[in-house]
Amino acid sequence: YASRGQKKFGDKCDNTLECGFPGSICDPKKKSCQCTEDLPVTNHYDKCGKEAAVNESCFFNEQCEMRYFQTECRDGRCICRFEMSPIWGKDGSVECKGRQDKRGPETYIDPAMIGVLVGMALMFVIICVVLRLFSQ
pLDDT in tens, 52-96: 989 899 999 999 999 888 899 999 999 998 888 888 888 877 888
User: Which one-letter amino acid corresponds to residue 28?
Assistant: P
Identify the CA nearest to 72 among candidates 88, 60, 83, 84.
60
Share of the chain above pLDDT 90, in %: 58
Average pLDDT over residues 10-34: 93
Mean pLDDT of the chain: 88
The pLDDT score that the predictor gives to residue 106 is: 76
- Give pTM, 2 decimals: 0.61
Residue 1 predicted with pLDDT over 70: no
The pLDDT score that the predictor gives to residue 136 is: 67
Average pLDDT over residues 10-30: 92
Q: Where are the alpha helices (DSSP H) in the chain?
A: 61-65, 111-134
* 54, 92 Cβ separation under 8 angstroms: no
Residue 23 predicted with pLDDT over 60: yes
Residue 107 banded pLDDT, cuts 50, 70, 90: confident
Q: What values do phi and psi take at 80, rounded to 5?
A: -70, 145
With a CB cutoff of 8 Å and minimum separation 6, the contacts of 111 are: none
Question: Residue 77, class by beta-carbon neighbours within 10 Å (0-12 exposed, 13-18 middle, 19+ buried)?
Answer: middle
Residue 103 banded pLDDT, cuts 50, 70, 90: low
* 51, 68 Cβ separation under 8 angstroms: no
Please indicate whether residue 13 or residue 69 has the higher confidence score (pLDDT): 13
Q: How many CA atoms lie within 13 A of 40 on its CB side?
A: 7
